[in-house]
């Protein structure tokens, strides 16, 4: 629940926004009918976000916005400007005063709530702690959402701190990581197999660039029959990527091949992704047993890919003897997001999946 300050001289609109924020959004609304009083309330008890009308009798919304930005405790809060004037010059004036968003009246209430939630989520993302290292995500049972989690985790980390993040798809059977990012998977790591001597320049030439700043080493479009990534190529590639990027996220293949073994050896953290159904748990038990030499790196991540889990958290913990460190909730928007190449972590930061991934980043940074 966020504390949201709403400043508007219309009592009717104040009440409508209050009901929207509190009943539909689960937030706390602080109301003010004029700019001077609103500024005083913000300075006395800084809100998490402010919604400000432009046309007010005592002081304009633009001036309120400027004064909030000039006051250190409120300088970084998200601000939405509401105005009855919807020309380009009005939008420029709002952004020039320091607002994050400009919305013309009459505003659609659900659109306003959606933007409020997104701005709050974006602020949380900006304030996430930094993480450095290599995270390998794996499951020897397919269909548990490893690639989706890897894409959204990498997309989130790409927005944190000043370093760079690289996402690596080691799947030899036509991985879908690049497609989930809306990228054509050319070039991909199949070129490294044919390249001979590998160095930083060769590997750099095989990386894709996403608009978020994320770098991507994609898997081949077509399944590889004989010439997958060898131990030597994987070691060299991951070593160079780790030197050149703050964070490396590896989407590991669902097979115990040479590339997987190298990834496990170089990992800082290994996220074993499971779902709450017995076949996934059975596979996870076997995985932990076979890969016990890396057990100190393992962390269990429960990914709910259906609306209702089939097993309780207690049953899962008893079977694995490891409690899940994090749970990713079912998010019905994820199917469409994957198909459109628009990760929820970037395009819907207030969605349940995106917020859970933000929490996972905080966990990784603190563990």
Neighbours of 128 (CB within 10 A): 17
Confidence at residue 227, expressed as pLDDT on a 0 to 100 scale = 61
Q: Is the pTM of the predicted complex or chain greater than 0.95?
A: no
Q: Which residue, 107, 126, 145, sits at the end of a domain?
A: 126
Confidence at residue 124, expressed as pLDDT on a 0 to 100 scale = 81
- pLDDT tens for 284-294 read 999 999 999 99
Do 181 and 346 form a contact (C-beta atoms < 8 A)?
no
Confidence at residue 86, expressed as pLDDT on a 0 to 100 scale = 67
Average pLDDT over residues 219-239: 86
Q: Which residue, 126, 157, 184, sits at the end of a domain?
A: 126
- pLDDT tens for 69-124 read 999 999 999 999 998 876 778 788 888 999 999 998 888 999 999 999 989 888 88
Average pLDDT over residues 139-156: 94
Residue 74 corresponds to which tokens in the numbers above?
């409120």
Q: By percentage, how much of the chain surpasses pLDDT 90?
A: 68
Q: Based on the domain organization, do 121 and 182 belong to the same domain?
A: no
- pLDDT tens for 29-65 read 999 999 999 999 999 999 999 999 998 888 999 999 9
Q: Based on the domain organization, do 137 and 230 belong to the same domain?
A: yes
Question: Is 199 a residue whose pLDDT tops 90?
Answer: yes
By DSSP bridging, strand 215-217 and strand 208-209 are: antiparallel
Confidence at residue 364, expressed as pLDDT on a 0 to 100 scale = 93
* Separation CA 325–CA 257 (nearest Å): 26
Question: Is 223 a residue whose pLDDT tops 90?
Answer: no
How far CA 279 is from CA of 140, 274, 290, 313, in Å, comes to 11, 10, 17, 15
Q: Based on the domain organization, do 157 and 179 belong to the same domain?
A: yes
Average pLDDT over residues 258-265: 95
Give the chain's domain count.
Answer: 2
Residue 103 corresponds to which tokens in the numbers above?
């919305």
* Separation CA 6–CA 19 (nearest Å): 12
**At 87, which CATH number?**
3.40.50.2300
Q: Based on the domain organization, do 199 and 339 belong to the same domain?
A: yes
Average pLDDT over residues 150-164: 90
* Separation CA 239–CA 228 (nearest Å): 18
Neighbours of 195 (CB within 10 A): 15
Polymer length of the chain: 367
Q: How confident is the model at residue 127 (pLDDT cuts 50, 70, 90)?
A: confident
Angle, alpha carbons 119-157-79 (nearest 5°): 15
62 lies in which domain range?
3-126
Q: Based on the domain organization, do 146 and 54 belong to the same domain?
A: no
């Amino acid at each position: 629940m966020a504390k949201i300050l709403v400043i508007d001289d219309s009592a009717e609109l104040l009440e409508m926004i209050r009901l929207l924020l509190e009943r539909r959004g689960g937030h706390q609304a602080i109301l003010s009918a004029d700019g001077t009083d609103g500024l005083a309330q913000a300075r006395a008890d800084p809100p998490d976000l402010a919604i400000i009308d432009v046309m007010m009798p005592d002081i304009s919304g633009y001036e309120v916005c400027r004064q909030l930005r000039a006051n250190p405790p409120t300088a970084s809060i998200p601000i939405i400007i509401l105005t009855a004037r919807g020309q380009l010059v009005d939008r420029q004036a709002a952004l020039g005063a320091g607002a994050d968003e400009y919305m013309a009246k009459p505003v659609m209430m659900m659109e306003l709530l959606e933007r409020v939630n997104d701005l709050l989520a974006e602020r949380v993302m900006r304030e996430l702690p930094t993480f450095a290292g290599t995270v390998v995500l794996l499951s020897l049972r397919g269909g548990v959402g490893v690639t989706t989690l890897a894409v959204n985790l990498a997309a989130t980390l790409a927005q944190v701190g000043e370093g760079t993040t690289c996402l690596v798809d080691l799947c030899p059977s036509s991985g879908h990581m690049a497609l989930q990012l809306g990228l054509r998977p050319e070039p991909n790591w199949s070129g490294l197999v044919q390249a001979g001597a590998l160095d930083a320049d060769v590997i750099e030439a095989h990386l894709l660039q996403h608009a978020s700043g994320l770098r991507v080493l994609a898997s081949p479009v077509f399944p590889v029959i004989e010439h997958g990534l060898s131990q030597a190529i994987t070691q060299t590639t991951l070593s160079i990527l780790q030197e050149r990027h703050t964070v490396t996220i590896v989407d590991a293949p669902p097979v115990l091949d040479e590339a997987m073994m190298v990834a496990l050896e170089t990992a800082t953290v290994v996220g074993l992704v499971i779902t709450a159904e017995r076949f996934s748990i059975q596979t996870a038990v076997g995985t932990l047993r076979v890969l016990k030499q890396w057990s100190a790196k393992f962390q269990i991540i429960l990914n709910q890919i259906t609306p209702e889990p089939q097993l309780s958290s207690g049953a899962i913990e008893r079977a694995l003897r490891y409690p899940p460190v994090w749970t990713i909730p079912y998010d019905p928007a994820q199917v469409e997001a994957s198909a459109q190449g628009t990760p929820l972590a970037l395009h819907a930061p207030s969605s349940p999946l995106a917020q859970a991934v933000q929490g996972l980043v905080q966990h990784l940074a603190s563990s």
